Amino acid sequence: MLAEMRLLIGDMAGCTEVIASANLEKALGQSQPWFSRPWLETEGLVRLFSLYWIGMHQAERAYDLAHEFAVRAIQSGRRVMAARAELLVMEAAFKQNRRDRAQLALVRALGSTAGSSAVRLFLDMSAEGFALLEGMTRDKGQSHRTWIDTILGAGGGRSDLRTRASDTISPREKDVLIGLSRGHPTKIIARELNLSHATVHHHLKRIYVKLRVHTREQAVEEARRRNIIT
C-alpha cells in the first residue's frame, strides 16, 4: 500500500496526502462494524491507521483501533492475525509510556502464536518491543520461555548477549548511538549516515537488545556508562 510505504520512509505529509486522496479513512469507517470488508483488507487498513496515528501522536486512538481488531480476530480464530494486531497495540502503548500495557499485548501475541512457526512476525518488532521480549526471559515463571528463546535466537538476540555490549556494538551501531546522543531523530541519523530509515531502525533494535534498554535516552546513558561513546 502506497500510504504505508510513505510511513516506512518517514514521510508523514505524503502519507496524509495518500490517505486523503484515496479516501482511506472512509474505507476504514466502512469496515466497522466489523467486518463488511474482507479480513485481509480490513487488517491492512487497521495496520495503516494504527501506524499513522502513532506517527501523528495519536497513540490512544491507534491503541483502541488495534486492540478492538485483535479482539475480533481472536474471537474468529484468526490467531496470527490477532498477534499482528497485538504488536500494533504494543507499539501504541510504548508511545503512551505504558510499558505495562505493552507487555500485556506482547504476552497475548506470544500466546496466540506459541507452537506455530510465526517467528517472522516478531522479528519486525520495534527496538523497544525486542528489548521487552528479551527482558521477559529473566522471568523464571514465564510460560512462553521456549517460544521467546526461539524468536530471540532467530533474531540473533541471545547470541548478542553472551558477551559484553562494549565488545559487540558494531562501528555502525556506534555511529547510530552518537546520533542519538546528539538528540537526532531517526530520519536525520539515516541522512547523516547515508542509510535507509529501515536500516537505522534495525540498528536501533540491535542496540536496545545489546544494552538491555528500552528507550533512546536509556541507550545513550548506558552507552556512556560503558564507555562505548563519550
Whole-prediction pTM: 0.70
Q: How far, in Å, CA of 105 to CA of 198, rounded?
A: 23
What pLDDT digit, counting tens, does each position of 189-223 carry? Answer: 999 999 888 889 888 888 887 887 778 888 899 89
CA torsion, ordered 97, 138, 228, 221, to nearest 10 deg = 30
Tell me what the mean pLDDT of segment 145-170 comes to.
Answer: 66
Q: How far, in Å, CA of 50 to CA of 15, rounded?
A: 13
CB-CB contact of 82 with 91 (8 Å)? no
User: Going by C-beta distance under 8 Å and a sequence separation of 6 or more, which residues neighbour residue 104?
Assistant: none
Confidence label for 156 from pLDDT (cuts 50, 70 and 90): low
- Average model confidence (pLDDT) for the chain? 87
Which pLDDT does position 155 carry in this prediction? 66
Q: How far, in Å, CA of 27 to CA of 1, rounded?
A: 14
Q: How far, in Å, CA of 18 to CA of 87, rounded?
A: 24
The CATH number that domain 2-121 falls under is: 1.25.40
Q: What 3-state class would DSSP assign to 24?
A: helix
What pLDDT digit, counting tens, does each position of 45-81 carry? Answer: 999 999 999 888 899 999 999 999 999 999 999 999 9
CB-CB contact of 95 with 54 (8 Å)? yes
CA atoms within 13 A on the CB side of 200: 24
Cell 500495557 belongs to: 101
Neighbours of 150 (CB within 10 A): 16
Which pLDDT does position 98 carry in this prediction? 92
CB-CB contact of 154 with 123 (8 Å)? yes
